[in-house]
Amino acid sequence: MQPLTLMPLPYPEGALAPVTTAQTLALHHGAHHAGYVKKTNELVGADLAKYESLEQLIEHAAQSREDVFDNAGQVWNHDFFWQSMKPAGHGARGPHGAFAEAIERDCGSLEKLLADALARGEKHFGSGWVWIVMNGGKVSAATTANGRPAFVDGLYPLLVCDLWEHAYYLDHQNRRRAFLEGFFAQLANWEFAQRRYEAHEAPRSRAPRGRSVSRRPG
Ligand SMILES: [Fe+2]
């Protein structure tokens, strides 16, 4: 693997206002995310060539290098987070087809899934991430602490929101719930989640016994 590079934002810095302002996004992407990329490259150095993917590096570091795991995990999580949002007011189409049916089957309704995600995100202690995931073939909400990507726990991420204070403090101060409500009401990119769900389900229908594996964002 080549040295990691900072994934460009898929939209202008001001496009997520007012839930996330340009000032927050500039710092979040240009300082925090860029810092995790730089630190990972510094920590791993020439050994990056030993890994085929960021996921492989993270899985390996989970067993052996806490500092690499923290920073590389944060690179992956932020790559996934930018893709989990769409500019406010652009109204990403909600879950539909088999994905919508799976949400109803597993969670009762989309509203119940979002209420669960919001509650988990709000009460999560300290820094971390709140995810919509596939867990053993079922749609559910989950949180992870610090820089831990959900795929490390065998979960398949569909969508994520950042719970670190750097994600919301400038805009919402200590009101994490207000940020989460804004995320789910205005920014959540369900078209991205839908593509992830469909990618997850496609191999299953071809090979029902096949093992579910983690995949890179996108
Ligand atoms: Fe962050």
pLDDT band at 88 (very low <50, low <70, confident <90, very high): confident
- pLDDT value at residue 48: 97
Q: What is the pLDDT confidence band of residue 35, given thresholds at 50, 70 and 90?
A: very high
209 vs 79 pLDDT, higher one: 79
CA of 28 to the centre of ligand 1 (A): 6
* pLDDT tens by residue, 120-172: 999 999 999 999 999 999 999 999 999 999 999 999 999 999 999 999 999 99
Question: Comparing C-alpha atoms, which of 51, 91, 54, 85 is closest to residue 72?
Answer: 54
Question: How far does residue 67's CA lie from ligand 1's centre (Å)?
Answer: 17
Q: What is the pLDDT of residue 86?
A: 94
Q: Measure 211 CA to ligand 1 centroid, in angstroms.
A: 31
CA of 200 to the centre of ligand 1 (A): 25
Q: How confident is the model at residue 215 (pLDDT cuts 50, 70, 90)?
A: very low
pLDDT, position 195: 96
Q: How far is the CA of 33 from the centre of ligand 1 (A)?
A: 7
The residue ranking higher by pLDDT, 182 or 217, is 182
**What angle, 0 to 180 degrees and rounded to 10, lies between the N-to-C axes of helices 66-83 and 54-64?**
140
Strands lying side by side in the sheet with 138-145: 138-145, 128-135, 156-162
pLDDT of residue 141: 98
141 touches 133 (CB < 8 A)? yes
Gap from CA of 166 to ligand 1 centroid (Å): 6
Quote the ligand 1 centre to 110 CA distance (angstroms).
25
How far, in Å, is the centroid of ligand 1 from the Cα of 207?
Answer: 36
| Ligand 1 center to 210 CA (angstroms) | 34
Q: Say which DSSP state 217 is in.
A: -
What's the 105 CA to ligand 1 centre distance in angstroms? 32
Helix (H) or strand (E) holding 145, with range, is strand 138-145
What is the mean pLDDT of the segment spanning 69-98?
A: 92
Domains and CATH numbers, the chain: 19-206 (3.55.40.20)
Q: What per-residue confidence (pLDDT) applies to 91?
A: 67
27-35: average pLDDT: 98
* Number of neighbours of residue 60 by Cβ within 10 angstroms: 16
Q: Amino acid identity, residue 76? A: W
Distance from Cα 80 to the centre of ligand 1, integer Å = 11
CA 167 to ligand 1 centroid distance, Å: 5
Distance 213 CA to ligand 1 centre (A): 25
Task: Give the global pTM.
Answer: 0.92
